[in-house]
Structure 1
C-alpha cells in the first residue's frame, strides 16, 4: 500500500504514546472557550461577496464555527463539529471517510464529489472536475482560524461545485506574541492524537511585520471494528507580511492518511455483526500537498488588487470493496492556478469587484481488478485515462448602498471548462466497464446572483437572495462509463435557489432563521441498477434556525434545527431485474434525506469561568434508505458530554463521553441490491487529554 510513500503507523503510534505517558496529564482548552455569549452577528466572515464582511450584512446565510468552539468540541473527525450548524448533515463512514449533505440529501459518487466546494483560505482543495467525496480528509481543521459554511449557491467569487454549499477552513493566523501549545489526547481502541502549533510576529522597519506559524497533527486510531484503523499526519506553515499598503499571506500544507477500512455491515445492533469487518482487505492511502500565496496591494484609498497563485498535488490509492471483484483505484492530480480580483470602492459606500480565475490540472485514473471475474466485473484493467482540465472564469460582484439601512448586491460568474481526455487502454468494453475513445469536452456556464439586505433596527436584519449554482460534470461522470450508457450524456448541473431570512437578537437571545426553495436540473447520479441517470430533477424546500443565549447561574444554550424536504421531480420506472432496481416517482423523497435535524448544547461555566461542562443532544430524523421509498431508517437521538478545565494559564485538561447512553445507531444507512447495509456507530466512548501552553 505505497509504503515507500507514506510514514509507517508504528512510528506515529509510538511517538504519540510516549508523549502521553511522559506528560501524565490528560487536552483542554483556554478560558476563551467560555465565549458562549459571543455576538455572532458581529463576527467577521471572509466567505462572502466581499472578504471581511460582518456576518449581519451578508446577503444570504453563512455560519461560522470559531476556533475556540472547535477546540472545545475536540472532534475526532470534522463532522462531529460541523453538524452543529443548521442544514449540515455529514455522515461519517469509517475512519476519515464521510459523505456530505448541505441543504441537500446525502450525495454519493460524482454528485457527492461535485456538489460541494471545499476550500482552504478560499482556495479549492481540488480542481473542479476531480472532486473527492471524502474531501474533508484532505483539510486541516484541527488547528484553524475558523470554519465558515455557506448553504446553497455561493457568491460570484466562487465557481464550480459551490452548488449546494461550501466549506471554507481558514488557517490560524500568527499570534502577536511568541508562544505555542501542544495537545495530546487518548481514547478507546488505541486512539491517540498529538498536535501542536507555535507562532510569533516580528516587527520590521516602517511599520511592517512578519508573522510565522507552524502547526502539526499526528493521529492514530486502532478502530473499534475488526481489521480496521488509520494513521494520519498533517503539517502547515503560514507566513504573514503586513505593511502600510501590502498584505501577504502564504501557506504550505501537507496531509497524509493510511487507513485499513471497515466496510458496510448488515446490522448496526448486533455486536457480532457490526464489530466485524466483511472486507478486511479494504484500505485507503492518500496524500495531498498545497501551496498558496495571497497578495493584497492597495493601489489607492479606493482601489485594491488581490492575486492568489496556488499549486497542489494529490494522490489516492484504495480498494473498491463496494464493487464485485474489489478492484483497486489509483488517482492523482497535479496542477495549480491563480485567483485575481480588483476592488473599486465608490462614493456613497458602493463597491465593485472584477475578478478572473484560472485553473489548470492534469489528472489520471486507473481501475484494475486483480481478483477473478465476478459477474460482469472482469479481471483486468477497467480504466486507464488522463485528463488535462482548464477552467477560465471571469466574474463581477457589486454592492450598492440604496440607503443607510439597505444594501443590494449583484454579481455573475462565467465559467468555461475544457477537458482534454486521453484513453490509455483499449477502446470499447471490458465486462461492465466502457472505455470511450479520446476526446475533448467543453462546457460554458453562467451563474447570476442577486441579494438584498435591510436592517430594520439594531435587533433585526432581513435578507432575500436569488442565486443560480452551476457546475461542469465530474471527469469520472464523463469518462468512467458502464456498458449500455451513452458517452457525453452528462451536462452541466444547474440549481436555482431563492432564500429569505432574518437574523438579530431578542433581549439576550441571538437568532438566525432562513427559508429556502431550490430546484435542480441535469442531476447526474448512479441509480440502484448501477446505471447513470443523466437528466434527474430534484426539489429542495426547508427552513433552518440557529439560536444562542446566555442563561442564569452560568448556564448557556446554543441550538440549531432544520426541517427540509428533498424530493424527486421526475419518474424512472422499475426495471425487470428483481431485487436490484428501484423505481423513482416524482414527489418521493430522495433517499438518505432526513427531514429533521437538530443539535442542542446546554453549557455551564464554573469556578469563575475556568471550567466548562456541556451536554449535547444530536437528533437525526428518519429517512428512506432507497429511492423507491420502501425501506426506512428510524433515525436516532444521541447525547454527548464534554468538559474542560484550566488548571492555570499554561495547563488545561479536558474529557468527553461520546454516545453517553450507549445508544445503538448507524452513522449511515442505505439499501443496495435488495439488502440493508450500515456504517455502524461506535459504542459509548470516553476520551481525555491535556494542553500545555508555552
Structure 2
C-alpha cells in the first residue's frame, strides 16, 4: 500500500502515503484476477464499503454509512470516471455504478468519507473513481468466461501506438440467464482512449458507452424466505425490467505555463437515459428519465519547493426529464395514469482552492475550500396539483449554495510508521427527484442541502515490504438529512450520527502464503424523532439506522506454491442489522466463502476456475421490512465459472 499512486484526492497523481484521505485502491491486476460478476464483489473487499446487491446489475451503496435508498442513496455518493461524474449531481442514479465500465478499469479508487475540495455535491459519505487504463501500460488480451446459470462473458483489451498517439480500446460483453425466473441480464461496455501531445500540451481523448438490458426479479416476501430455494427462484413480477444507456466523452488537457505553473482542464459531455418498472412499490409504475450534459473542470497548479497550490473553476450544464405512469388499476393512493411529467434545466458553478505544504521533513499539511452554486429551472408538463399520493408542483426555480472545507495532516513518525488526520465537510444539493416528486401536504420550502461533518485519524504501518496495515477511526454528524419514511413522505431537517473503525492490510506469512483483507466496525444512529406514524417505522433518537451492519469483514488467504499456480480462499462476513427504522425487524447476517484458482498454462494462456458461495449458504443480499412484511433479495446458491485469458 505504501507506494500506490492515487489521483482522486487532487485530480493529479500523488502517492497514497502522502494523502490524508482514507482512500483504498483496486489495481488492474486485482480487478482482472477477480473477474467480478457484479461490482459489489470487487468493492466489498474494501474497508467501510457495503454494496447491497439487488437483482441483475442493481445495487444500493454504503460507504461509511447505512445502505441508503431514494434520493439520499442517489445523492450521498459520487461516482466518477477519470474524475468526471458519471451523472450530473442533481440527477444521480441510485444504482450509479451500473453505468460504469468497472470490468475494464485500469484502477478503481474509493474515498471513504467526504471528498476533497476538488469535488462537490454528492461527495458526502464517499466517492468511487473508475480510471481507464493508460495506453502506455495497458496490456493486450482476450478473456472468455462461462459459468452457472447461463453466464457468459467476453472481455478484450487492445493497446499500442496509433497515428496520433498512444491508444487503448476495451470491450466487455456479459450475459446471464439468472438463477431466478425471468431475470436475464445483458450488459455491454465499450471504451476508447487516445493520448497524445501537441507542442507543450498533453491531451487525452476518452469515450465510454454502456448499454444495459435487464429483466428484473423482485423481492421475495415472508420471514426468512431466502432459506426456501424454490421460493427464492420465483419472480412475482416477470414484467419488471430495467433498461439503461449511457454515453460519455471527455477531453483531458494539461500544459505547463512556466517552471512552476501548469494549467489543467477537462471538457466533457454525457447522455444518460433509463426506463424501468418500479417493482418495489405497489404501483409498479413505469419511470422514464434521462439527462444530457456538457461541462468543464479546470485548475491552475503552482508547484513550489515545499508547497503545491491549486485554484479551480468547474461548470456543469444539464437538461433532464422524468415521466412516471401507472398502468395497473388504482390501488388506494397509487392511482392509475400519469403521476409525474416534468423537465429540469440545471446549472452548476464551482470554485475551489487547495494547498499542500511540507512544513517539516516529516510533517505535511493540506487544506481546501469549495464553493458551489446549483440552480434548477423546473417545468411541469402535467396538470398542477395533487392526484392520489402524487403532488405535481407548478413551474418554479430553486437555487442552492454550499461551502465544503477540509484540512488534514500526515506525520511520518519513522520510515515505517505514519499517522494522519483530517477534518472535512461533505455537502450535497437536493436531488431533483427530492424536490419535485412530493406528496400532498408537502412543500419544497425547507428542503436544504445536506451537510456531513467528519473527523478522522489513523495510522499506516509498514514494518516489512510484505506487511502493511492501515487503521482509521472516524466520527461524523449529518444535518438537514432528506429521507423518505415508510409512508413515502419526504422528511427534511433530520439528523444522523456515525462512528467507526476500519482496518485494511496485507501480511506475508511466507514466500508462498499471504493474508490480506479488511475489517470494519461502525455504528450508525438516528439523531432525531420522527418518521412514519405506524409503530414499526417510527424513528426514535438513538435508534440504529436500518440496513447498517455493525461488523463487516473480507479476509483472503492467497497461496502460490509455484510460479504458475495461485489459489485464493475468501471469507466474507456480514454482521446482523435491523431491516426497519423502528428496530423491530432483524436480519442475522451471513458468512460466505469463495474459492478462486489461477493456472498459467503457457506464457500467454491462463485459466481461472472460481467457486462462489462454496458452502452453498442460504442468505439474503438485501433484507428489508416494508408494507408490514419482510422482503428479501435472495443470495445466489453455489456457482461455478471457468475463464480463459489469452495475452498477445
TM-score > 0.5, shorter chain as reference: yes
What's the counterpart of residue 689 of structure 1? 643
Of 238, 243, 260, 2:193 maps to 238
Partner residue in 2 for 1:194: 154
Match of 2:553 in 1: 598
User: Counterpart of 2:220 in 1: which secondary structure?
Assistant: coil
Q: 2:322 aligns with which of 365, 368, 385?
A: 365
Deviations 1:426-476 (A, max 9, x none): 000111110011100000000011111111111011111000001100000
Q: Equivalent residue for 1:437?
A: 394
Superposed, which structure 2 residues align to 1:236-635 within 5 Å? 236-242=191-197, 245-266=200-221, 267-346=225-304, 348-507=305-464, 508-572=466-530, 575=533, 582-607=537-562, 609-635=563-589
1:128 maps to 89
Task: Find 2:105's aligned residue among 139, 144, 147.
Answer: 144
Deviation string, structure 1 residues 119-170 (Cα, Å, up to 9, x no partner): 0000000000000010110000111111000000011001100000000000
Counterpart contact for 1:597–1:621, Cα < 8 Å: yes
Answer yes or no: is the 8 Å Cα contact 1:340–1:357 preserved in 2.
Answer: yes
For residues 198 and 505 of structure 1, the distance between their equivalents in structure 2, rounded to whole angstroms, comes to 36
Match among 4, 9, 27 for residue 66 of structure 1 = 27
Give the whole-Å Cα distance in 2 for the aligned partners of 1:435 and 1:86: 42
Q: Number of aligned pairs?
A: 644
- In structure 2, what is the Cα distance between the partners aligned to 1:343 and 1:175? 24
Alignment correspondent of 1:180: 140
Compute the displacement of 1:325 (Å). Answer: 2.6
Find the aligned partners of 1:448 and 1:413 in 2 and give their Cα distance.
6
Q: 2:183: which partner in 1?
A: 228
After superposition, the Cα gap between the structure-2 partners of 1:136 and 1:535, relative to the gap in structure 1 and judged at 3 Å, is same
1:407 Cα offset (Å)? 1.1
Cα displacement (A) at 1:582 = 1.1
User: Could you give the per-residue CA deviations for residues 170-210 of structure 1, whole angstroms, max 9, x where no partner exists?
Assistant: 00111469x621101011111100110111025x9xxxx81
Q: CA deviation at 1:692?
A: 1.2
Residues 176 and 200, structure 1, Cα contact 8 Å, conserved in 2: no
Answer yes or no: is the 8 Å Cα contact 1:613–1:641 preserved in 2: yes
Q: Partners in 2 of 1:176 and 1:80 — Cα distance?
A: 25
Deviation larger for 224-233 or 632-641: 224-233
Aligned pair 1:645/2:599, yes or no?
A: yes
**SS of residue paired to 1:136:** helix
Q: Post-superposition shift, 1:293?
A: 0.6
Shift of 1:243: 6.7
Q: Deviations over 1:516-558 (max 9, x none)?
A: 0000001111111221111110000000001102122501110
Higher relative contact order (CA 8 A, sep 6+): 1
**Which residue does 1:165 correspond to in 2?**
126
Contact preservation (8 Å) 2:124, 2:427: yes
Shift of 1:308: 0.2
SS at structure 2 position matched to 1:529: coil
Aligned to 2:16: 55
- Cα deviations by residue, 1:373-426 (Å, 9 ceiling, x for unpaired): 111111111000000000000000011121111111111000000000000110
Looking at structure 2, the residues matched to 431 and 440 of structure 1 have their Cα atoms a distance apart, in angstroms, of 25
CA–CA distance in structure 2, aligned partners of residues 379 and 422 of structure 1: 23
Per-residue CA distance 1:646-674 (angstroms, 9 max, x = gap):
11121111010000000110000010011
The structural deviation recorded for 1:573 is 6.5
CA RMSD, aligned part only? 1.3
Q: Secondary structure at the match of 1:587?
A: coil
Q: State the distance in 1 between where 2:425 and 2:276 align.
A: 35
Q: SS of the residue aligned with 1:41?
A: coil
1:298-340 CA-partner distances (Å, limit 9, x unpaired): 1122111001000000010001111223110000101110000
Q: Distance in 2 between matches of 1:248 and 1:373?
A: 56
> How far apart, CA to CA, are the structure 2 residues paired with 1:485 and 1:68?
50
Give the C-alpha shift of residue 273 in structure 1: 1.0
Question: Scaled by the length of structure 2, what TM-score is found?
Answer: 0.98
Mapped contact 2:306–2:359 kept (Cα < 8 A): no
Q: 1:385 to 1:466 in 2, by over 3 A?
A: same
Partner-residue secondary structure (3-state), 2:42: helix
Aligned to 2:618: 664
Aligned position for 1:16: none
- Is the contact between residue 486 and residue 531 of structure 2 (CA under 8 Å) also seen in structure 1? no
Q: Would you identify which runs of 4 or more consecutive aligned residues in structure 1 move more than 4 Å?
A: none
Is 122-131 or 192-201 further displaced after alignment?
A: 192-201
SS at 1:42 equivalent: coil
Deviations 1:245-304, CA, capped at 9 Å, x for gaps: 332111110000110000101210111211100111100011000000100101122111
SS in 2 for 1:478: helix
Tell me, yes or no, if the aligned pair for 1:349 and 1:400 is still in contact at 8 Å.
Answer: yes
What's 1:30 paired with? none
1:203-222 aligned within 5 A: 210-222=165-177
**Aligned mates of 1:129, 1:440 — CA distance in 2:** 14
Aligned mate of 1:116, from 55, 66, 77:
77
CA distance in 1, matches of 2:10, 2:285: 44
Question: Where does residue 88 of structure 1 map in the other structure?
Answer: 49
Query: Cα distance, 1:488 vs. partner?
Result: 2.8
- Contact 1:436 1:487 (8 Å CA) reproduced: no
Q: Provide the rounded CA distance (Å) in 2 between the counterparts of 1:471 and 1:176.
A: 36
Contact 2:567/2:595 (CA < 8 Å) preserved in 1? Answer: yes
CA distance in 1, matches of 2:327, 2:519: 47
Alignment check: 8 A CA contact 2:487 2:532 kept: no
